[in-house]
C-alpha cells in the first residue's frame, strides 16, 4: 500500500521533531538559493568575464548550456528520486553543482567556462526538481503552502539580490567569486541534509531497475532539440543546414525515446504522466507559463532601457518587482483554492494574467517607468494564483513513489516552454523590427546602436512595437493555458487521502 507520510520521522519528542523538520526546510531553502541565485548573478558579470577570457561571440552559451543541462536532466532525476529516495539524489546533485561551481571559478578560457557551466547544470536539475518534491513530502496538503511560500520567498530575494551581488563581486573583487560564493551556501545545505533528513523506510523491490537507456535517450533528444531552439535564428538561420539537421536529428531521437520507454520496465518518462488528465493538463499549462514568462524576463529590460531610457539597475528594478507580488499572492492562494478548488483558482490567475499582458501594448509611448512596473506588480500577483495551486494540486494527486516523476515532468514542461518562447518571441521581435526598419537588423544589434547613441527616434518606436508584439504573443500563451485547464483539467483534482 502506498505510503504518503512526511519525509521526517523522529522517535523523540514532538519539539525535537519540529526542530529536525525546520533544519531540513532550511537546507531546502539554501539548496533552492543556489539555483535561484545562479539565474541572476552571472548575467551582471558578463562584461568582466568576456574582458578576462574573451569569447564574446559564444558567451550566450554560459546561460544556454546551463539551461540545457538543467532541462534535460529534470525527468531523469525525478525518476531516480522515486526509485532510490530524495536524499541520495539531492546530495549527489548538490555535490555536482558545487563541483561545477569550483571548476567555473578556475576556468582558463570561455570554452572551459561553458563546459563547467554545463556541469553546474547537471547538478542544478537535481536541485530544482528534488527540492520541490521534498517540499511536498515534508508537509501534508493542508500545510504545504507554508513551505512553498518560503521557497517562493527565496526566488524573490534572489531576483532582487542576485544582480546586485554579482555586480559588486565583479566590480570590487573578481568575477570568479560569483561561483565561489556557492561553496559555503552549498556546504551548509549538504551538512543539514546529511545530518537531519531521514526518509521513512518503505517497501522496495528486490532489485531497483534503472532505465539507463531511456535516460540516455531523453538526454540526447532533449539536448539536440533544445540546442536547435536556442541557436536557431541566432547562430544560424532557421532554414539553414545546421537548424534542419538538428531538428531532424531531434525528431528521430524523439522516436527513439518513445520506442525505448515503451519497452522499459521502469521508464524515465512513464506513459501515465500523459494519460492522466490532471497531470497532462498541468504539464501543458506549465509549458504555456514558461512560454509567457519570456516576454517580461527577456524583453522588458530591453524595453526599459531602449524605450524608457532607464539605466541597467533601474531596468532590473522594473522587472524584479513581479517576484515580490508573485511570492506574496502564492502564499495567500491557499485561502482561495481551499474554497473553490485548485483548477478554478488557477483559471482566475491565468485569466487575469491574459488581461494584464494584453494591456502592455496599450502603454503610451514613450511612457513613464511606473507604468510597466505597475503591470509587472499585477502580473506577479495573478501568476502566484496560477502556479502554486497547480503544483500543490498535482503533487497531491499522486503517492510518494510517483511524486518525483510528476514534479519533474511539470518543471520540465515549464523549462521547455521557456526555451521555446525565447526562440519564438525572438523571431517575432526581429520580424517586427525588420518590417519597421526595412531589415536594418535584429533586436540585439539595434539595442547596441541605441545604447551607443547612434540610433534615431524611429528605432526606439520600432523596439516598442516589437516588444508590444511579444507581449501579445505572451497573452496568447496565457489564453492557451486557460483553455487547457478549462477543457482538460477536472474541476476537482483527485487528491489522495493522506
Is pLDDT of 202 > 80? no
Rounded to 10 degrees, the C-alpha dihedral 295/298/304/307 comes to -80
Query: Where does the pLDDT of residue 142 fall: very low under 50, low under 70, confident under 90, or very high at 90 and above?
Result: confident
Is pLDDT of 10 > 60? no
Is pLDDT of 5 > 50? no
Q: Are residues 482 and 460 in the same domain?
A: yes
Query: Where does the pLDDT of residue 4 fall: very low under 50, low under 70, confident under 90, or very high at 90 and above?
Result: very low
Q: What distance in Å separates the CA atoms of residue 53 and residue 51, rounded to the nearest whole number?
A: 6
- 470 neighbors 429 (Cβ within 8 angstroms): yes
Q: Are residues 41 and 55 in the same domain?
A: yes
Higher-confidence position of 268 and 470: 470
Q: Are residues 257 and 279 in the same domain?
A: no
Is pLDDT of 207 > 60? no
- 392 neighbors 141 (Cβ within 8 angstroms): yes
- Mean pLDDT over the full length of the chain: 84
102: nearest Cα among 10, 179, 172, 165: 179
User: What is residue 443's predicted lDDT score, i.e. its pLDDT?
Assistant: 63
Q: Are residues 225 and 306 in the same domain?
A: no
Q: Are residues 245 and 394 in the same domain?
A: no
Q: Which domain holds residue 82?
A: 20-198
- 144 neighbors 135 (Cβ within 8 angstroms): yes
Q: What is the mean pLDDT of residues 350-377?
A: 92
Q: Are residues 62 and 184 in the same domain?
A: yes
Query: Where does the pLDDT of residue 1 fall: very low under 50, low under 70, confident under 90, or very high at 90 and above?
Result: very low
Where do the H-state alpha helices sit in 85-176?
Answer: 86-105, 110-138, 144-172
Query: Where does the pLDDT of residue 162 fall: very low under 50, low under 70, confident under 90, or very high at 90 and above?
Result: confident
For residue 37, CA distances in Å to 160, 192, 201 come to: 10, 20, 34
Residue 465 lies in a domain: yes
Residue 475 lies in a domain: yes
311's CB contacts (< 8 A; 6+ apart) are 305
Q: Are residues 74 and 54 in the same domain?
A: yes
Picking from 247, 265, 283, the residue at the C-terminal end of a domain is: 265
Is pLDDT of 452 > 70? no
- 378-391 residue pLDDT tens: 999 999 999 999 99
Q: Are residues 228 and 192 in the same domain?
A: no
Q: Are residues 106 and 234 in the same domain?
A: no
Q: What is the mean pLDDT of residues 106-114?
A: 91
C-alpha cell at 329: 499572492
Alpha carbon of residue 167 to chain centroid? 22
User: What is residue 428's predicted lDDT score, i.e. its pLDDT?
Assistant: 86
Is pLDDT of 362 > 80? yes
Residue 8 lies in a domain: no
- 148 neighbors 135 (Cβ within 8 angstroms): yes
- 396-440 residue pLDDT tens: 999 988 999 999 999 999 988 988 888 888 888 888 887 887 765
Tell me the DSSP string of 165-206: HHHHHHHHT-TTHHHHTHHHHHHHHHHHHHHH--PPP----S
Picking from 173, 198, 223, the residue at the C-terminal end of a domain is: 198
Count other C-beta atoms under 10 Å from residue 383's C-beta.
Answer: 26
Q: What is the mean pLDDT of residues 102-115?
A: 92
Q: Whole-angstrom distance between the N-terminal and C-terminal Cα of the chain?
A: 12
471: nearest Cα among 225, 294, 207, 316: 294
Q: Are residues 216 and 293 in the same domain?
A: no
406: nearest Cα among 97, 81, 146: 81
Residue 290 lies in a domain: yes
Picking from 175, 198, 221, the residue at the C-terminal end of a domain is: 198
The enclosing domain of 28 has a CATH number of: 1.20.1250.20
The answer to whether the peptide bond before residue 366 is cis (omega within 30 degrees of 0) is yes
Q: What distance in Å separates the CA atoms of residue 270 and residue 250, rounded to the nearest whole number?
A: 20
**Residue length, the chain?**
498
Residues of the chain above pLDDT 90, percent: 36
Q: What is the mean pLDDT of residues 365-382?
A: 90
Is pLDDT of 454 > 80? no
Residue 203 lies in a domain: no
Q: What distance in Å separates the CA atoms of residue 375 and residue 361, rounded to the nearest whole number?
A: 11
User: What is residue 199's predicted lDDT score, i.e. its pLDDT?
Assistant: 79
Instruction: Assign 236 to helix, strand or coil.
Output: strand
User: What is residue 14's predicted lDDT score, i.e. its pLDDT?
Assistant: 43
User: What is residue 281's predicted lDDT score, i.e. its pLDDT?
Assistant: 96
Residue 255 lies in a domain: yes
Judged by average pLDDT, the poorest of 3-17, 183-197, 314-328 is 3-17
User: What is residue 87's predicted lDDT score, i.e. its pLDDT?
Assistant: 92
Is pLDDT of 6 > 60? no
Is pLDDT of 376 > 80? yes
Alpha carbon of residue 340 to chain centroid? 27
Q: Which residue has the cell 513581479?
A: 322
Residue 205 lies in a domain: no
User: What is residue 19's predicted lDDT score, i.e. its pLDDT?
Assistant: 67
Judged by average pLDDT, the poorest of 105-114, 292-301, 385-394 is 292-301
Determine which helix (DSSP H) or strand (DSSP E) holds 256, and give its type and residue range: helix 241-263
Q: What is the mean pLDDT of residues 132-153?
A: 84
User: What is residue 147's predicted lDDT score, i.e. its pLDDT?
Assistant: 84
Count: domains in the chain:
3
User: What is residue 469's predicted lDDT score, i.e. its pLDDT?
Assistant: 94
- 44-85 residue pLDDT tens: 777 788 888 887 667 778 887 888 888 888 988 998 998 888
Q: Are residues 242 and 328 in the same domain?
A: no
Q: Are residues 129 and 145 in the same domain?
A: yes
Q: What distance in Å separates the CA atoms of residue 376 and residue 68, rounded to the nearest whole number?
A: 27
For residue 494, CA distances in Å to 4, 139, 282, 334, 341 come to: 15, 18, 13, 17, 11
C-alpha cell at 244: 534542419
User: What is residue 227's predicted lDDT score, i.e. its pLDDT?
Assistant: 81
- 25-36 residue pLDDT tens: 899 999 988 888
For residue 271, CA distances in Å to 81, 225, 404, 407 come to: 18, 21, 15, 15
Of the CA atoms within 13 Å of residue 64, those in its CB half-sphere come to 21
In angstroms and rounded to an integer, the radius of gyration of the C-alpha atoms of the chain is 22
Query: Where does the pLDDT of residue 7 fall: very low under 50, low under 70, confident under 90, or very high at 90 and above?
Result: very low
Residue 64 lies in a domain: yes
- 352 neighbors 382 (Cβ within 8 angstroms): yes
Amino acid at each position: 500500500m502506498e505510503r504518503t507520510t512526511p519525509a521526517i520521522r523522529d522517535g523523540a519528542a514532538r519539539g525535537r521533531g519540529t526542530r529536525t523538520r525546520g533544519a531540513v526546510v532550511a537546507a531546502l531553502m539554501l539548496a533552492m538559493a543556489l539555483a535561484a541565485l545562479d539565474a541572476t548573478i552571472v548575467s551582471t558579470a558578463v562584461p568582466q568575464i568576456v574582458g578576462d577570457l574573451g569569447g564574446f561571440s559564444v558567451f550566450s552559451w554560459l546561460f544556454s548550456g546551463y539551461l540545457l543541462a538543467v532541462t534535460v536532466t529534470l525527468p531523469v532525476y525525478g525518476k531516480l528520486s522515486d526509485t532510490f529516495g530524495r536524499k541520495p539524489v539531492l546530495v549527489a546533485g548538490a555535490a555536482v553543482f558545487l563541483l561545477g561551481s569550483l571548476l567555473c571559478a578556475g576556468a582558463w578560457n570561455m570554452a572551459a567556462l561553458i563546459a563547467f557551466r554545463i556541469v553546474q547544470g547537471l547538478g542544478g536539475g537535481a536541485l530544482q526538481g528534488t527540492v520541490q518534491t521534498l517540499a511536498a513530502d515534508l508537509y501534508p496538503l493542508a500545510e504545504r503552502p507554508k513551505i512553498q511560500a518560503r521557497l517562493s520567498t527565496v526566488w524573490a530575494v534572489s531576483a532582487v539580490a542576485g544582480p546586485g551581488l554579482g555586480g559588486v563581486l565583479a566590480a570590487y573583487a573578481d568575477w570568479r567569486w560569483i561561483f565561489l560564493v556557492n561553496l559555503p551556501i552549498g556546504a551548509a545545505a549538504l551538512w543539514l541534509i546529511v545530518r537531519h533528513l531521514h526518509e521513512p523506510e518503505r517497501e522496495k523491490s528486490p532489485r531497483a531497475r534503472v532505465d539507463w537507456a531511456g535516460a540516455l535517450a531523453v538526454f540526447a533528444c532533449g539536448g539536440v532539440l533544445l540546442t536547435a531552439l536556442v541557436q536557431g535564428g541566432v547562430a544560424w538561420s532557421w532554414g539553414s543546414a545546421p537548424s534542419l539537421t538538428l531538428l531532424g536529428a531531434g525528431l528521430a531521437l524523439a522516436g527513439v525515446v518513445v520506442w525505448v520507454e515503451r519497452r522499459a520496465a521502469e521508464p524515465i518518462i512513464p506513459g501515465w504522466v500523459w494519460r492522466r488528465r490532471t497531470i497532462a493538463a498541468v504539464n501543458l499549462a506549465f509549458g504555456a507559463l514558461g512560454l509567457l514568462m519570456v516576454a517580461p524576463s527577456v524583453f522588458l529590460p530591453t524595453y526599459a532601457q531602449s524605450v524608457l531610457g532607464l539605466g541597467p539597475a533601474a531596468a532590473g528594478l522594473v522587472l524584479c518587482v513581479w517576484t515580490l507580488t508573485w511570492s506574496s499572492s502564492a502564499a495567500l492562494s491557499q485561502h482561495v483554492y481551499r474554497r473553490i478548488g485548485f483548477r478554478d483558482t488557477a483559471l482566475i490567475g491565468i485569466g487575469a494574467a491574459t488581461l494584464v499582458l494584453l494591456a502592455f501594448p496599450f502603454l503610451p509611448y514613450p511612457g513613464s517607468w511606473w507604468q510597466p512596473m505597475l503591470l509587472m506588480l499585477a502580473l506577479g500577483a495573478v501568476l502566484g494564483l496560477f502556479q502554486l495551486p497547480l503544483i500543490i494540486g498535482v503533487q497531491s494527486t499522486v503517492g510518494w513513489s510517483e511524486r518525483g516523476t510528476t514534479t519533474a515532468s511539470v518543471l520540465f514542461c515549464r523549462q521547455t516552454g521557456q526555451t521555446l518562447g525565447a526562440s519564438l518571441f525572438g523571431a517575432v521581435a526581429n520580424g517586427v523590427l525588420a518590417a519597421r526598419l526595412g531589415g536594418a537588423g535584429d533586436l540585439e544589434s539595434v539595442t547596441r546602436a541605441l545604447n551607443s547613441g547612434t540610433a534615431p527616434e524611429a528605432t526606439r518606436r520600432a523596439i516598442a512595437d516589437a516588444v508590444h508584439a511579444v507581449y501579445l504573443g505572451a497573452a496568447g500563451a496565457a489564453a492557451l493555458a486557460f483553455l487547457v485547464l478549462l477543457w482538460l483539467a477536472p474541476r476537482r483534482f483527485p487528491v489522495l487521502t493522506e
